[in-house]
Amino acid sequence: MSGLSASPVSTADAATGAGPRHVAIIMDGNGRWAKRRFLPRVAGHRAGAEAVRVTVKAAADMGLKALTLYAFSSENWRRSTEEVSDLMGLLRHYLRKEIAGMDRNGIRLRTIGNIDGLDNELINLVREGVERTKNNRRLDFVLALNYGAQDEMVRAIRDIATDVQSGVLAPEDIDPAAIEARLDTSDLPPLDLLIRTSGERRLSNFLLWQAAYAELLFVDTLWPDFDGEALAAAIADFGTRERRFGGR
């Protein structure tokens, strides 16, 4: 990434009408799914974890390069201690159970977000999973953990300030590429499609920078009901979009 032509958005695939390379999902609606069944919220999160498993496998089979899932936001700490602890427990359980299968399927685990804010056991599980799958190339499965786009930008800006202060970076060299290089997503393909389930139509502090030219899709499906078929439908919808990137 260099020079005046550097663009924050790669148009390589998208402009030619190819399928999305990088899809991100705001997995919402676990609580409502459980409520409809008169079950505790944790039952919804458990069913949501199963939807993650099938969706990741489907994404790899469909040839996506990256799938980013919003698993826990930097604002989700505001939930009850019980729910936070249930979510963290499920994340630990998920990682313990699924890493081997991911590895077998050529899936590389990554994370975005402030991982340091998680408990040590979870940090270690994440590190082990990332290390074990680091040579896989079929699909990047990116878990957004303790992720908030504003927090990500604050960390990037601090990094830039430090580089400016130490003389490594001149203020006039701060451009979109310099910022992108410091985001958690720096080595992922540009975001093509951002999906939110459960009928809510907001971004809730997810990938705000990266969504600049992403296609947005809001579906009513509650996250635990999401699956490969739902992902295929989303990708088909993406195929009908005309992306312009401001250029036409």
Q: Is 146 left (phi over 0), alpha (psi -120 to 50) or beta?
A: left
Report the site for ligand IPE in 197-216 (rule: CB under 6 A): 198, 200, 202, 204
Selected from 22, 30, 46, 213, the binder of ligand IPE by CB under 6 A is 30
Q: Which amino acid is at 107?
A: I
Q: How many CB atoms lie within 10 A of CB 170?
A: 9
**Backbone φ and ψ of 45, nearest 5°:** -65, -35
Map residues 21-40 to x or -, x wherever contact with Mg ion holds by CB under 5 A.
Answer: -------x------------
Choose the stretch contacting ligand IPE; rule: CB under 6 A; options: 4-12, 72-80, 104-112, 169-177: 72-80
Specify whether the CB–CB gap between 215 and 238 falls below 8 A: yes
Could you say which of Mg ion, ligand IPE, none residue 76 binds, taking C-beta under 5 to 8 angstroms by partner kind?
ligand IPE
Q: Please list the active-site residues.
A: 28, 76
31 scored as a contact of ligand IPE (CB under 6 A): yes
State the nearest-atom distance from the C-beta of 83 to Mg ion, in Å. Answer: 11
Whose Cβ is closer to ligand IPE: residue 27's or residue 126's? 27
Q: Which residues pair with 24 in a beta bridge?
A: 68, 194
Per-residue tokens: 166: 């130490």
Whose Cβ is closer to ligand IPE: residue 72's or residue 213's? 72
Could you say which of ligand IPE, Mg ion, none residue 26 binds, taking C-beta under 5 to 8 angstroms by partner kind?
ligand IPE
Q: How many CA atoms lie within 13 A of 71 on its CB side?
A: 31
221 scored as a contact of ligand IPE (CB under 6 A): no
Whose Cβ is closer to ligand IPE: residue 81's or residue 240's? 81
Selected from 66, 67, 87, 125, the binder of ligand IPE by CB under 6 A is 87
- The DSSP annotation for 57-112 comes to HHHHHTT-SEEEEEEEETTGGGS-HHHHHHHHHHHHHHHHHHHHHHHHTTEEEEEE
CA-to-CA distance for 136 and 104, rounded, in angstroms? 9
Could you say which of Mg ion, ligand IPE, none residue 238 binds, taking C-beta under 5 to 8 angstroms by partner kind?
none
State the nearest-atom distance from the C-beta of 28 to Mg ion, in Å. Answer: 4
Specify whether the CB–CB gap between 197 and 223 falls below 8 A: yes
Count of residues making up the chain: 248
Residue nearest to ligand IPE (CB): 31
Judged by CB under 5 A, the number of residues near Mg ion is 1
76 scored as a contact of ligand IPE (CB under 6 A): yes
**Backbone φ and ψ of 184, nearest 5°:** -60, -25
CA-to-CA distance for 117 and 123, rounded, in angstroms? 9
State the nearest-atom distance from the C-beta of 205 to ligand IPE, in Å. Answer: 8
Q: Which amino acid is at 213?
A: Y
Chain-centroid distance of CA 129 in Å reads 17
Question: Applying CB under 6 A, which residues contact ligand IPE?
Answer: 26-32, 70-73, 76, 87, 198, 200, 202, 204, 223
